[in-house]
Amino acid sequence: MSLLAPSGKLCLAFIGLLCLASDLGAQNIPTTFPILRDYLERRQVSNTLETDFSFLYFPIHTQKVFEAAESTYLVDTASSYRPVWPHLGKKTKKLEIHALPLQYTLRYESGIPYLHGVSPMIPARGVQSVREFGASVKWGNWHIQLYPQLHLAQNLPFEEYPPHAPRSFFQRRRVTIDGVDSPIRHGKGHIARILPGNSHVLYHLGSFAGGISTENFWWGPGQFQPLLMGNNAPGFPHFTLKTTRPARTFLGNFEGQYFVGGLTGSGLTHYSDGAYESVWRPMTEDNWRYFTGISITYSPRFLPGLSLGANRMFQVYREDMRSNIRAYFPLFAPLPKEGEGVQENVDLREAQNISVFMRWVIPEAKFKFYAEYIRNDHALTWRDLVLNPEHSRGYLLGFSKYIPLPKNKMVEVRSEMLHTENSINAMVRWPGDVPFYTYGLYDNYQVRHGLSNRGQILGPGTGNSGNLYQLEVSLIEDMDKLGIRLERFAREQNFYRHAHAGGEHIRPWVDLAAGVVYEKHLGNLLISGILRGVTANNPNFHHPTYVREPGIAPSQQRFSVNSTFRVALIL
């Protein structure tokens, strides 16, 4: 199955650039790159790297952010940006060509897919891999990065729904399927595709850069999972204007990003066998959506280490925009619905997501904590927002702490809680058996593809209403890490609450996982991986009444293995 095929000329261009390139400039750490993001942030929090960068935006343009460090890819010794052809570099002092790191990511799932979140991988059983390769060209202030991805997946079958559940189960399931394009399994067979990946053409000017890109980008303070925007789904084409380092003013530092792009649908049925498609509405709308957003972060001078920020995003179907100029610039719309009129707001058929976040680093204590709060629905009025802040909300809380040990080692303790389930307020606000209260943070009744691209949610890999708690304890030595991670993942809580409250025979689906985390730096090689054992309790919301054969109840627990392995070779 091929979703995107490159032209022959593009392939030749990649091969040619790779042949000409022989060195790597510390230009860009993409969201898919192993180890380095956590390593650099860990050094900031543990007070061994002086930087006022907030670590709230990725990818990181390392040459701009860490000007004092000669190389932020490996160690602080090698120089960055050496031209491939010395004579050409001396003549023009402009043109530089570099090979980008060869990256290989391997993922294995023995059972029902668990915690997605590695772009462009999909929820799939079996083995899947992503290979990333390419080159960068710098000409004056212009920077071209060609970094495509080759994605292969076995995509083996697995149980997508309880086969003997009553029809009422799927009728209640409808309310969490109608508002988001998130198929359980992406087709029925092997997948092989080439994507543009983390590629861009940017013009740099001071602390800013603008251009076109297909890169994944990450907003917010999450260590393990993003709340609003991350690398769970494949990147999408977009125009961007962003900071590449903190913009320093007398008030403090500002960082941020603005983008305009397009999202597409998967074109797939919710279940790969097309079962129960008659129960929920088919997504007949044009699946191309206009998508725009802005994020701004402020770090005050009078409170070092503190960063405060806000995100706002809108999407609308292209066919609904027509000649409506307002639809192209929704970011300037009033926050409450009454600013435009309630009915006018509904008629626009837009979907908004908005979040506020904070991050506070205390290097003296080797401690960091952070939080993010998100809403998926306009407040009716400012009074409504103040009195009912829990409506259509989710949140993210986390911290990291470093304990020094002899011989330049330390213990890292970090934890994160992601909560995307609707609050009880939803049932109070819409009493009775009304489907509106099951719409969560990433699904929407107007833009029915939800906050997704190519069938995957742009935010976390927990689905449209998962709750996730993670705790990790590791032994750290420079870039190397060995630790354990414990996780509790409650799946699709909006559906469970809705079905259970409606009298459906259903049990909560909760995964408990324990894993070993490993990271290693070997010369020009970066290696990272996690090996998990996952125990699924009541998978697919199984209930003892759902029998496979007369008198035989389905297993209420299933064990599976989940692993992700990454390696990057710096050329």
**CB-based contact 495:507 (threshold 8 Å):** no
Flag whether 3 is in a domain.
no
CA distance 322 to 281: 24
**Terminal C-alpha separation, the chain:** 31
Flag whether 2 is in a domain.
no
Mean pLDDT in consecutive groups of 10 residues from the start of the chain, 571 residues: 38 33 53 90 91 93 72 40 36 74 96 91 96 92 94 96 89 87 94 96 95 97 95 96 95 97 94 91 79 97 96 91 81 80 71 94 97 87 83 93 96 97 74 59 88 94 94 96 98 89 89 97 92 96 72 72 94 76
Q: Which residues contact 332 (CB under 8 A, 6 or more apart)?
A: none
Among 471, 465, 483, CA closest to 531: 483
> How far, CA to CA in Å, does 368 sit from each of 77, 229, 284, 364, 400?
28, 21, 46, 10, 5
Among 86, 124, 131, CA closest to 106: 131
Report the C-alpha dihedral over residues 242, 213, 64, 459, rounded to 10 degrees: 70
Largest CA distance in the chain: 82
CA distance 488 to 418: 10
Q: Is 122 helix (H, G, I), strand (E, B) or coil?
A: coil
Q: What's the token pair of residue 414?
A: 């970090």
Domain of 75 in residue numbering reads as 8-569
Sign of the CA dihedral running 85, 91, 92, 93: positive
Q: Indicate the DSSP class of residue 548.
A: S
Amino acid at 242: K
**CB-based contact 438:432 (threshold 8 Å):** no
Q: Indicate the DSSP class of residue 332.
A: G
Q: Looking at residue 83, which CATH number applies to its domain?
A: 2.40.160.130
Taking the whole predicted model, whether its pTM rises above 0.85 is answered as: yes
CA distance 141 to 378: 40
The strand pair at 252-263 and 238-243 is best described as antiparallel
Among 389, 354, 466, 487, CA closest to 420: 466
CA distance 235 to 256: 19
Q: Indicate the DSSP class of residue 428.
A: H
The strand pair at 252-263 and 247-248 is best described as antiparallel
The full length of the chain comes to 571
Flag whether 1 is in a domain.
no
Among 467, 375, 381, CA closest to 426: 375
Q: Is 541 helix (H, G, I), strand (E, B) or coil?
A: helix
The strand ranges marked E within 278-317 are 289-300, 306-317
Residue with tokens 């915690």: 115
Q: Which residues contact 62 (CB under 8 A, 6 or more apart)?
A: 26, 27, 28, 29, 69, 72, 73, 80
Sign of the CA dihedral running 445, 446, 447, 451: negative
Amino acid at 177: I
CA distance 435 to 523: 56
CA distance 231 to 229: 7
Flag whether 355 is in a domain.
yes
> How far, CA to CA in Å, does 467 sit from each of 258, 392, 458?
29, 15, 16
CA distance 440 to 457: 12
CA distance 384 to 416: 29
Q: Let me know if 132 is exposed, middle or buried by CB neighbors in 10 A (0-12, 13-18, 19+).
A: buried
Q: Indicate the DSSP class of residue 231.
A: S
Cis peptide before 59, with omega less than 30 degrees from 0? Answer: yes
Flag whether 353 is in a domain.
yes
CA distance 526 to 332: 43
Beta carbons within 10 angstroms of residue 435's beta carbon: 15
Number of domains within the chain: 1
CA distance 98 to 82: 8
Among 136, 123, 130, 124, CA closest to 149: 130
Amino acid at 525: L
CA distance 109 to 571: 30
Q: What's the token pair of residue 520?
A: 């290693």
Phi, psi at residue 289, to the nearest 5°? -125, 135
